[in-house]
Structure 1
């Protein structure tokens, strides 16, 4: 595998930030020049605007022509480390393969590609087995459908529009290999395994992050590495499960960091955050916000195995969620839970800036994100300290759209001039250029104090924060001129 940079990366939809793949590259080369080493290009497949904002691909191997071509993607990958999603669990109900199965049933050459209840429970399942299936949304993960004239229970973990793949079958495995070949052929060097925790279904288990899931992830990681790609695993779950999976893959998200930082700034107490810094995996991708909501299951008690406490108590998780709702003026409450469609039971929908509601608190949180070990990724709305898009939420009724604003070029240029955004850009460039970040990391502090230090030879950079006073200071040795201008 070729060496690649691991500086700060941008997370963005091409249609919502630049208008196309080429337009996004022009932003990175233009007003954002020198800011990002890489980009997580959110689903650009056909169609990018389906029932789940591209996470329900009709054709996972094709670039939506409204966004560009594979040549545009390869040009972006030639200038920036490029991450893209391998949507492991499902495809669109409108895919050609599933439409053929609907029409022809078992007579379709694609019949083995999709999962039904009887594939996992050939002899049926009792109430305890079905109740034990872990799902991110209320209800059972089955949708009655007619396939070739026969009524079946099709496995649909997320929505009826997203049909689960049968990854125990050769047809399901072959499908993933085709998509992986298309991605890496398009210049993708980091692959994000979307929803992989739900991908393997096993009778008598929760069908979420089971030993069979771990084995599948290990196998898929090998296949991706053979094509020259690193693997990022996307799983919202108990923190100990994240630590376990990190030992088996290239990278895992630090999904505990966003809610812990909110808890820390809401309470003025950094104890829970410091505890996490002592045990978190270093091979993490750090985020505060993504195209999804703010996860809370990642810091709470285990929802699968009883008796495993979380990084926060249930009461603290409750206060955290209420804190987001209060600071957003109730806007997040309108986008979360039963208030909006396409919801997840473990996430609160709100921009991270509105979850804090204060420039200084926001910059303190971003500084911590940029200082902890891992590859930092900044979501496009968070880059511009974006506010909740209540108009888009009202128009679509999709909770997560509150944090998926469509930016015009004029809005981007205006927001890049805001003081909070300019200061964030300075922090990002410090993270990318200072040699100390390539050395050793140390965390210290007590009470409301937090001190994060990196050292490499004579180079040193330290973040000193008081989370109660919401004050932050960065001390750094001078950056060598050659590094600073490179």
Structure 2
């Protein structure tokens, strides 16, 4: 994977495009801005209950978006990342419907994870309480089979997302066959979606347990033999993230988004600097994604201090809501479906109070900290909260999943703000210093000073947090230039 900015996007929400249209967009209006693209689920169907994360057929591209040949054409010009949804498939999948029809006589019976597989002698209250939950309630759904029998099936996320037994012969083959399709289409990086929940074991939290690491390692080795790198998506306590990073190719720096907000809101880089001293270097950095802004990644856990003091963190969350004019409150927690216990649903631009200067500073921080930056398509447009879409779907995360028209794209790329953002994107992609050494320079906590050095090439970032004055200087042959 190239050390260049990556775009994260739904194919159909960026100008109503298909994969061919996305390819053209990257070659024309977004030329030189991205070294790769993470296409969020493009499998059949893209409009299930969870925007493609509940595939009926993981190996089939939704025909409205194109074909595997289109993915192959895209991969010839940019790196392509795809989601491998390891934990579940749609309740409407032919495999699960066959299981419901035929029960244990189904050829797919072993593919699905039942309550009894994990708890063959039953579960105690303690067993159930220990299960780590991303959302309220227990991770089981009562399913009535055609013979009238009712059974509990694992559904970690929603009742439409049926958990698979990844260690069954059918489960292993299911994932292997998806990898083969990816390889043939030129996909060179995968994101393991919800991998932390893939292994369930009685008497444990069933989240990022020892067996989960073993599963991720096995799957990673398979992918590597196919020339595919692996990014693991885990929201967790920061020390857990550091340990996970030692065992995988890439992890997300999910602590960064709130740490940047803390830095800008409180005019102090103390917490961010402390994190940069220990943060994983094999990171994919983000400020926003198709999900909400994660809180658990910086919070305390079981009485152990987090990256940000809990009282300060509470104030940051409150400030985010206030900055959005309280629109984010309507999309977060119990206010909307698809509940996430650890996220605030809002665009990053809204979380910063639609302050273009602060937003550009936030992106500059992201581009200068260690890791490969990803920019979410709504973040590329400095998007506002989409209250119309939220009202239509009542899915909290849809507040940050706007459908951009081609006209909106055409109008935005002509704005003075985009001209500045574009300059920053191209600089991060082309300056040689970012292939060298990261240096966190000494400064007061009211300032942030970062330098990159690569032989004779260097770049330096300084942000005065009291005035939000941003200065970027860099080597250019024998001269020193400023970016803005």
Query: Which interval holds the TM-score relative to the shorter structure?
Result: over 0.9
Aligned position for 2:274: 275
Task: Select between 462-471 and 98-107 the one with higher mean Cα deviation.
Answer: 462-471
Give, in angstroms, the shift of residue 346 of structure 1: 0.4
**For residues 82-481 of structure 1, what are the structure 2 equivalents within 5 Å?**
82-149=80-147, 150-302=149-301, 306-357=302-353, 358-444=355-441, 445-478=443-476
Give the secondary structure class of the aligned counterpart of 1:220. helix
Give the secondary structure class of the aligned counterpart of 2:462. strand
2: distance between equivalents of 1:213 and 1:480? 51
Give, in angstroms, the shift of residue 424 of structure 1: 1.2
Give the secondary structure class of the aligned counterpart of 1:125. coil
Give, in angstroms, the shift of residue 419 of structure 1: 2.1
TM-score by length of 2: 0.97
> Structure 2 unaligned runs (5+)?
480-484
1: distance between equivalents of 2:210 and 2:408? 47
**Retained in 2: the 8 A contact 1:435–1:479?**
no
2: distance between equivalents of 1:112 and 1:468? 59
Aligned position for 2:45: 47
Q: Residues 78-127 of structure 1, C-alpha deviation per residue, up to 9 Å, x if partnerless?
A: 11000000001100000000010111110100000011111101001111
Give the direction of change, closer, same or farther, for the CA distance of 1:126–1:456 in structure 2 (3 Å limit).
same
Give, in angstroms, the shift of residue 406 of structure 1: 0.5
Question: Paired residues, what number?
Answer: 475
**Retained in 2: the 8 A contact 1:385–1:420?**
no
2: distance between equivalents of 1:91 and 1:368? 37
Give, in angstroms, the shift of residue 174 of structure 1: 1.1
**For residues 1-40 of structure 1, what are the structure 2 equivalents within 5 Å?**
4-18=1-15, 19-40=17-38
Give the secondary structure class of the aligned counterpart of 1:79. coil
1: distance between equivalents of 2:2 and 2:166? 32
**Retained in 2: the 8 A contact 1:267–1:468?**
no
Aligned position for 1:484: none
1: distance between equivalents of 2:199 and 2:24? 40
2: distance between equivalents of 1:184 and 1:387? 36
Question: Where in structure 1 do 4 or more consecutive aligned residues deviate above 6 Å?
Answer: none
2: distance between equivalents of 1:73 and 1:162? 25
TM-score by length of 1: 0.96
1: distance between equivalents of 2:477 and 2:123? 63
RMSD between aligned alpha carbons?
Answer: 1.2
Q: Residues 338-373 of structure 1, C-alpha deviation per residue, up to 9 Å, x if partnerless?
A: 001112100000000010020111011000101111
The one of 45, 57, 60 equivalent to 2:58 is 60
> Structure 1 unaligned runs (5+)?
482-486
Give the secondary structure class of the aligned counterpart of 1:299. coil
Give the secondary structure class of the aligned counterpart of 1:477. strand
Give the direction of change, closer, same or farther, for the CA distance of 1:171–1:266 in structure 2 (3 Å limit).
same
Aligned position for 2:482: none
**Retained in 2: the 8 A contact 1:106–1:148?**
no
Give the secondary structure class of the aligned counterpart of 2:460. strand
2: distance between equivalents of 1:208 and 1:412? 40
**Retained in 1: the 8 A contact 2:3–2:435?**
no
Give the secondary structure class of the aligned counterpart of 1:297. coil
2: distance between equivalents of 1:354 and 1:399? 15
2: distance between equivalents of 1:480 and 1:376? 28
Give the secondary structure class of the aligned counterpart of 1:129. helix
Task: Select between 311-320 and 184-193 the one with higher mean Cα deviation.
Answer: 311-320
Give the direction of change, closer, same or farther, for the CA distance of 1:182–1:479 in structure 2 (3 Å limit).
farther
Give, in angstroms, the shift of residue 413 of structure 1: 1.2
2: distance between equivalents of 1:348 and 1:210? 26
Give, in angstroms, the shift of residue 307 of structure 1: 3.4
Give the direction of change, closer, same or farther, for the CA distance of 1:161–1:449 in structure 2 (3 Å limit).
same
1: distance between equivalents of 2:74 and 2:140? 39
Give, in angstroms, the shift of residue 168 of structure 1: 2.6
